[in-house]
């Protein structure tokens, strides 16, 4: 009996942990990645697009890649190369990609993919939310054809880019504010779980020996400053894929969530109203905890399925 596949569009800014998430999604038997769209985030959009093409050619899936926003809606662009390195995916020598990018901008490519799909599409943004906000603003009539949004970003507690803000939300807070207010079914897979979802040094060595993909990821992990090779590497973006295929790993609660888009010290903060202080209708399913051991087992199983 064939397994029903969930159609996805992954909006991404590769990024080393993005590469892990993309590899897992492309090879999971219950997922059908229809399109990768790129955004300025960890590094510039030209670099994230090149990185996405390199990954698609490495995995040999032929998944289309569309280049998206070069700048946040209002904020000055601020990359995260101090975490992912100058190229975004250092440590492994990929051949220069020969595949052409999609002829349309990411926003129009998302529209085209949704229009062609017989089923509703799940959007999986694992970078800043610029493309998603632009799509919702330009094509609001297509919201009914989106199954849900499962995004990596935000926090119900502390931040990682500033004291209170997680990077993906901080990078384009106006876009995030628009997405959270869209009325769509949204799950926020934020730092409350992604900072716990680490791969241990033993896990990393095991991954190296699994296959060619494991060796590629192991090489990049040596250059990844999202955690430590000694204490554990944080698999932020992979958690969004895990939530889609294995939601039982997570403890979640629905809350009203908004984004602070102004303020000298608080811009990019996700306001998660856990005490119902604002008396507003909950709009986001917030991930609060994760079964870390089960996540690690699942992550290794996913990488073992790749080339």
Instruction: Specify the pairing of strand 270-272 against strand 257-259.
Output: antiparallel
- Residue by residue, DSSP assigns 235-265 as -TTHHHHHHHH-GGGEEEEEE-EEE----TT
Give me the residues paired with residue 81 across strands: none
Encoded tokens for 52: 């996405």
Q: Which of 27, 28, 84, 236 is catalytic?
A: 236
Encoded tokens for 220: 């990049």
Surface-to-core class of residue 140, CB atoms within 10 Å of its CB (0-12 exposed, 13-18 middle, 19+ buried): exposed
> Other CB atoms closer than 10 Å to residue 98's CB: what's the count?
7
- The separation between CA 304 and the C-alpha centre of its own chain, rounded to angstroms, equals 21
Encoded tokens for 257: 């969530």
Residue 236 is a catalytic residue: yes
Give me the residue label for tokens 């939310």: 129
> Other CB atoms closer than 10 Å to residue 132's CB: what's the count?
32
Q: What are the residue numbers of the active site?
A: 236
């Amino acid at each position: 009996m064939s397994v029903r596949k969930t159609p996805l569009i992954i909006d991404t800014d590769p990024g080393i942990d993005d590469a892990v998430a993309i590899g897992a999604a492309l090879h999971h038997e219950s997922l059908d990645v229809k399109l990768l769209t790129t955004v300025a985030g960890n590094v510039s959009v030209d670099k994230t697009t090149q990185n996405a093409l390199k990954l698609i050619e490495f995995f040999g899936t032929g998944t289309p890649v569309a280049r998206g926003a070069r700048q946040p809606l209002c904020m000055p662009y601020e990359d995260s190369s101090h975490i992912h390195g100058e190229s975004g995916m250092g440590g492994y020598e990929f051949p220069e990609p020969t595949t052409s990018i999609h002829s349309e901008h990411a926003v129009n490519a998302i529209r085209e993919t949704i229009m062609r799909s017989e089923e509703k599409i799940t959007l999986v943004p694992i970078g800043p939310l610029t493309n998603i906000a632009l799509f919702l603003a330009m094509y609001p009539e297509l919201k009914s054809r989106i199954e849900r949004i499962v995004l990596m970003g935000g926090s119900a507690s502390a931040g990682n880019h500033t004291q209170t803000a997680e990077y993906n939300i901080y990078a384009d807070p106006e876009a995030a504010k628009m997405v959270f207010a869209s009325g769509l079914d949204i799950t926020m897979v934020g730092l409350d779980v992604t900072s716990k979802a680490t791969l241990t040094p033993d896990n990393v060595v095991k991954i190296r020996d699994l296959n060619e993909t494991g060796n590629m990821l192991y090489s990049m992990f040596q250059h990844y400053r999202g955690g430590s090779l000694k204490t554990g590497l944080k698999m932020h973006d992979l958690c969004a894929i895990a939530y889609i295929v294995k939601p039982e790993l997570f403890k979640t609660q629905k809350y009203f969530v908004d984004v602070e888009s102004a303020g000298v010290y608080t811009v990019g903060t996700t306001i998660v109203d856990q005490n119902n202080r604002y008396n507003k209708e909950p709009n986001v399913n917030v991930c609060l905890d994760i079964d870390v051991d089960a996540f690690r087992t699942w992550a290794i199983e996913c990488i073992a399925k790749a080339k």
